[in-house]
A and B are shown apart, each in its own frame.
Chain A
């Protein structure tokens, strides 16, 4: 595995990698020109045939999503690029945007051409100041050089790319929350149907794609389907609905590892390989208690599950929600799972948009139960109550509008199922791990 040569991150260590000159020197925007020489349908088909699946969390096949747009629509059609990247532990979009924004912008240009959109909105997480500045500069350069604007490269294709700085909330990353926010409203996810491909931004057909997905599109145009399919994991023959996990992936490794960072490796690497071969193991040689496979909304891998391949199917097979954003967080054996889960619960209670009753109240309730447990006031029956609440909120049981609630429930459910004895011991001991500083501003 370690022989894999990074492609998406190939340029990030270069001097001035974020400038147009540097990008052009490396053959930049040639893929866009190539795409302009094809028909939009050909580009869409190419992306579809590559097997590219969205990198934003849900892993939906990108080309397939594009084909959901209404045929012969008079327009406008929009591309909304999701750079809200708020899943804890995730920072691959940030690196791409700060260090190689043109790779992303080229993917945006190609995608716009493929879906017949003349306007793309790039929705950037508010906190990403450096990325914001890099993007502003990069977009200005593109307009200057005629890469964006009217009749790009003399092809007759018009393209506008607009930057939008986000509203600083996790829910702005949910695709319809993002659309609402772009329209200037509260990022309250919309009920579906209609799906954005039919009725999205400004009530027009809209495709929402992640930043990394866009970078992959650039590379697929540049290197071709065969290259992309040579990397990653083919579909599971026993699962007719599996679309495979092809291509490179940016894994964000953090937590208790010696070398945290963003590593580009083929999809399907196991958590253990990632931690040992790339992360340099756990500090002090301590053991691993749990690993978050892809952002905290995905749940936890137990130590016995570390050989799970981190592709689109693997985490699901061991009870996790999915691959998510492939943000791998390592938790060592000195850390209390009660504290970890409290922290995730606090995050989601804070980020729930508050629209759906079960999510609004359920996330807050879980946080408060866990707070009580952590203050030494836990009861054994709290664990079943937590399981009931965490299992009852979300799109999967059908009780909420968006997936935030599923993501809020999953780590709680996972942790109690996989580490129940630790919770029981904690409750029985009556001890408290609340630090005085946490009480400031607590409930």
Chain B
């Protein structure tokens, strides 16, 4: 086994593992501070924050050190490499680099969005000096409020790491950002009249290690230390980017991508990043409602659930082949499973249907070349399938013998009387049914709508069950590549809305509380295609459903360090 020594601590590498000093030190739990290096971007070794001493341990045990400091990001390790990150020489170099970076920095942390999660603050605190020796006035550079529709630049906070520039050249391929001027007069800028509005643009804000590039959507909304984050999965498309939902007092303020080499890599698209606003829509359904002789009336869950159970039982008795549950690709695997199982327990003849995932355009891959064509080996793909869990729900559906049918076809069956009782689940942030379509529901004897937003279907509903957005529930989404990832409840729902998993769980009359990992294990035992869920806890990166080989690679992915970004499809 090749062995690297980080501050005298041996670290074993896998035989084919190619790491730089920063990554090797990470394995030893040692932090090498860095700014310009990013696992998904090219190495420029220009910020000089990652300076370390390196050497070579000879077979006879002697060590030959390189007589100067070297950038850890640019220096590959091999068997016998010695890395020293805490010698007086390294500490002096770190202090030096930080002093230079802070020299002209405005230090306006009190009004800076990045404060609290700022690389400059963190590293200055750990490795810098506590005072400045600059006796001259600082450089002043004009802010550039319009870098793009979503991006603003506080020019003087920039540390010129060029991560943002490299992102637009190497990942989006759109190359809107550039460096202008020279020396300490340098600034990040766009080309005149060519703003940074590509569909991945928001990532430059995440990449920026300081508060230079800021998101206009988040600007001055919150101090980051007030935010509480929960890991989740973006519900925008079937890529299933790993994300974190940052909320405070049940209000979402932003989504951030999480690094996940099994899913999308390091980034997320702007559609997903900014597409969560419906979570706080004023059209959210807040209370269970039932159609009583007096009209549609808010009722409590303890009232509505027995009534609904009874209505469904009666419908199953009356004409089970005319009773259907309509699933959607916005549900979690657990919800689909609980509902299917419950319905089949009422009558094996009851029908299971699912509406297809909405498809918008074609898959959109990056980087783009000059002509806007995607590169042959994409690093990021926004998928046309605008739902998070078609794959997962279909596996459940097929196991229980259900079929995928369009909403129009289902409504036609309602009009023709071949369906009398329909349990419609929704969850789509876009409208899923038009006024005209909803009129078909008039013929139905029993309409149940489980949704998070008001819709034209509601006037025809006998029971309305207020569900929640993906950010408020626990469960499993399976992405386009068969990767099962966990979503987590990050905030409480408005009013008396319940996470859909709980609704399904309690409707089925189960005892206890809805606990996604437990249901996952139950599913694994029952549905062979989902056997991989037996682990219960899917971890931060999720697991592949398909083969044992892939599952194994997912399991030890903790130790994998992403070298290139992009999806592994």
* Interface set of A (CB-CB < 8 Å, partner B): 169, 186, 191, 349-358, 360-365, 368-369, 371-372, 377, 379, 385, 392, 396-401, 443
Tell me the minimal C-beta distance from B54 to chain A in angstroms.
10
Tell me if B507 is interfacial: C-beta within 8 Å of chain A: no
Are B69 and A397 touching (Cβ within 8 A)?
A: yes
A contact residues around B160 at 8 Å (CB): 354-355, 357, 360
Contact B68–A398 (Cβ < 8 Å): yes
- B96 near A358: Cβ-Cβ < 8 Å: yes
CB-based contact B46/A352 at 8 Å: no
The interface stretch among B128-136, B451-459, B554-562 is B128-136
Tell me whether B136 and A372 are in contact (CB under 8 A). Answer: yes
Contact B133 A385 (CB under 8 A): yes
In Å, the complex CA distance between A350 and B103 comes to 17
In contact, A399 and B48 (Cβ under 8 angstroms): yes
Contact with B179, one of A186, A385, A397 (Cβ below 8 angstroms):
A186
Known A-B contacts A364-B183, A385-B133; the reply to A399 vs B96 at CB < 8 A is: yes
The interface residues of chain A lying within 8 Å CB-to-CB of B44 are 191, 355
Inside 8 A of B104's CB, which chain A residues have their CB? 361
With A398-B70, A399-B93: A361-B48 Cβ-Cβ less than 8 Å: no
Q: What total of A-B pairs shows CB separation below 8 Å?
A: 96
Known contacts A353-B183, A357-B159, A362-B100; A401 and B46 CB within 8 A of each other: yes
B183 and A352 within 8 A (CB):
yes
B47 touches A357 (CB 8 A): yes
Q: Is B97 an interface residue, CB under 8 A from the partner? A: yes
What's the Cα separation between A342 and B185 when bound, in Å? Answer: 18
A358 close to B68 (CB less than 8 A): no
B449-483 residues at the A interface, CB under 8 angstroms: none
Q: Are B68 and A397 in contact, with the CB atoms below 8 A? A: yes
Closest 6 CB pairs of A and B: A398-B68, A361-B100, A364-B184, A398-B69, A352-B183, A354-B186
Query: Per-residue CB proximity of B113-151 to A under 8 Å, as 1/0?
Result: 000000000000000000001111101000000000000
Q: Which residues of A contact B179 (CB under 8 A)?
A: 186, 354
Q: Does B200 contact A (CB under 8 A)?
A: no
| Residues of chain B contacted by A363 (CB below 8 angstroms) | 183-184
If A397-B68, A400-B48 touch, whether A357 touches B101 (CB-CB below 8 Å) is: yes
Residue of A nearest to B99 (CB): A361
20 other A-B residue contacts (CB within 8 Å) besides A356-B47, A443-B136: A191-B44, A191-B71, A191-B74, A349-B183, A354-B184, A354-B185, A354-B186, A356-B48, A358-B100, A361-B100, A364-B183, A371-B136, A392-B92, A392-B96, A396-B68, A398-B51, A398-B70, A399-B96, A400-B48, A401-B46
How far is it, in angstroms, between the C-alpha of A105 and the C-alpha of B244 when the chains are bound? 62
Q: Separation in Å of the B67 CB from the closest CB of chain A?
A: 9
| B43 beta carbon closer than 8 Å to chain A | yes
Closest partner residue, chain A, to B134 (CB atom): A365
Q: How far is the CB of A166 from chain B (nearest CB, A)?
A: 15
Q: Is the CB of B183 within 8 A of A357?
A: no
Question: Is the Cβ of A361 less than 8 Å from the Cβ of B103?
Answer: yes
Specify the chain B residue showing the minimal Cβ separation from A379: B135
Chain B residues in 8 Å Cβ range of A365? 100, 103, 134
Instruction: Tell me the nearest residue of chain A to B47, going by C-beta.
Output: A357
Known: A368-B136, A372-B135, A399-B97. A360 touches B69 (CB 8 A): no
Asked if B183 and A354 sit within 8 Å, CB to CB, the answer is yes
Measured CB to CB, the closest approach of chain B to A174, in angstroms, equals 14
Name the residue on A nearest B45 (C-beta).
Answer: A191
**13 residue pairs from A and B, CB less than 8 Å apart:** A352-B183, A354-B183, A354-B186, A356-B48, A357-B160, A361-B184, A371-B136, A392-B93, A397-B68, A398-B93, A399-B69, A399-B97, A443-B137
